[in-house]
């Protein structure tokens, strides 16, 4: 990966970011692509999104060293833009090989791009926090932490969703115990999200409504001036965009 020239992203990289962590717990966490800090250090999720990721895992509790963290693309997209389809395709063999080597029981995807790699028909606003089966493994899609940093409602959803990780692990044990042979590439939902809407929530505050709300807010924020230190961090390139 560090010497790869398969797509144009190699031209702008300081370091490729293959990933870090261990295969110990059988959890593989997949983000979108490196930001400024990750590109500088050659390590995934070391900026503000990484700090939130650590906090989310600590609530489970799981230590960062006990999971493997990587990205769909291993080199930083310029200006933190979304990875292009051809860049995702060029990087695919690396992620495939990582999955072969790590053999994860649970794949946690962060954000839309990462989820779509496994579940092209998925919709992050509908499928976040669901425990799904993908080719004999558990797929557990979550919002991207950068979206949580931008929007407190998303952060709250992330904090709630991540608490289902132990359940996802239990389901993965059940899957291997029953030795369910993967029959197709299709996605099966293992659990419906049964939580009813809280009574104080307005009726229109469904996931769909929240998503469009969030997307609008996020778009509005893009053209709004940021607070001084927020601006500095944004300029330093923590990935903020495109994770809805």
- Owner of token pair 């409602």: 153
Widest CA span of the chain, in angstroms? 54
Among 26, 35, 122, 242, binds ligand URA (CB under 6 A): 35
Of the pair 119, 172, the CB lying nearest ligand URA is at 119
- In angstroms, how far is CA 237 from the centroid of its own chain? 17
Provide the 8-state DSSP code for 79.
G
Using CB under 6 A, which of the segments 25-33, 101-109, 135-143, 222-230 binds ligand URA?
25-33
33 binds ligand URA (CB under 6 A): yes
Of 238, 88, 108, nearest in space to 165 by CA: 108
> Would you give the binding string for ligand URA spanning residues 119-148, x where CB under 6 A is met?
---------------------------x--
> Would you give the binding string for ligand URA spanning residues 58-97, x where CB under 6 A is met?
-------------x--------------------------
Among 21, 34, 77, 122, binds ligand URA (CB under 6 A): 34
DSSP string, 20-60: EE-STTSEEEEES---HHHHHHT-SS-SHHHHHHHHHHHTT
As measured in angstroms, the least distance from the Cβ of 176 to ligand URA is: 28
Of 112, 114, 31, 35, nearest in space to 68 by CA: 31
Among 25, 28, 29, 32, binds ligand URA (CB under 6 A): 32
Q: Give the residue closest to ligand URA by C-beta.
A: 31
- Which residues have CB under 8 Å from 33's CB, separation 6+? 71, 72, 73, 74, 75, 76, 77, 83, 113, 239
Report the distance separating Cα 69 and Cα 5, nearest Å: 22
Among 25, 49, 109, 172, binds ligand URA (CB under 6 A): 49
26 binds ligand URA (CB under 6 A): no
Report cis status (omega within 30 of 0) of the bond before 61: yes
As measured in angstroms, the least distance from the Cβ of 174 to ligand URA is: 30
Among 125, 239, 241, 242, binds ligand URA (CB under 6 A): 239
Interface residues with ligand URA (CB under 6 A) are 31-35, 38, 44-45, 49, 71, 146, 239
């Amino acid at each position: 990966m560090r010497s790869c020239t398969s797509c144009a992203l190699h031209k702008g990289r300081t370091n490729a970011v293959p990933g870090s962590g261990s295969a110990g717990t059988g959890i593989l966490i997949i983000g979108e692509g490196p930001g400024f800090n990750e590109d500088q250090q050659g390590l995934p999720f070391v900026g503000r999104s990484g700090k939130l990721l650590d906090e989310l895992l600590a609530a489970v509790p799981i230590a960062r060293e006990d999971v493997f963290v990587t990205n769909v693309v291993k080199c930083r997209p310029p200006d933190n833009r979304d990875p292009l389809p051809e860049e995702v395709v060029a990087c695919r063999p690396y992620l495939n090989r990582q999955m072969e080597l790590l053999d994860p029981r649970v794949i946690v995807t962060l954000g839309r791009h990462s989820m779509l790699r496994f579940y092209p028909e998925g919709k992050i606003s509908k499928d976040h926090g669901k425990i799904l089966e993908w080719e004999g493994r558990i797929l557990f899609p979550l919002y991207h932490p950068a979206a949580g940093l931008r929007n407190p409602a998303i952060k709250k959803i992330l904090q709630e969703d991540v608490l289902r990780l132990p359940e996802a692990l239990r389901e993965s044990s059940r899957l291997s115990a029953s030795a369910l042979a993967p029959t197709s590439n299709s996605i099966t939902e293992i659990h419906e999200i049964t939580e009813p809407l809280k009574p104080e929530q307005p009726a229109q505050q469904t996931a769909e409504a929240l998503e469009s709300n969030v997307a609008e807010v996020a778009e509005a924020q893009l053209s709004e001036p940021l607070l001084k230190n927020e601006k500095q961090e944004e300029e330093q390139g923590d990935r903020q965009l495109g994770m809805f």
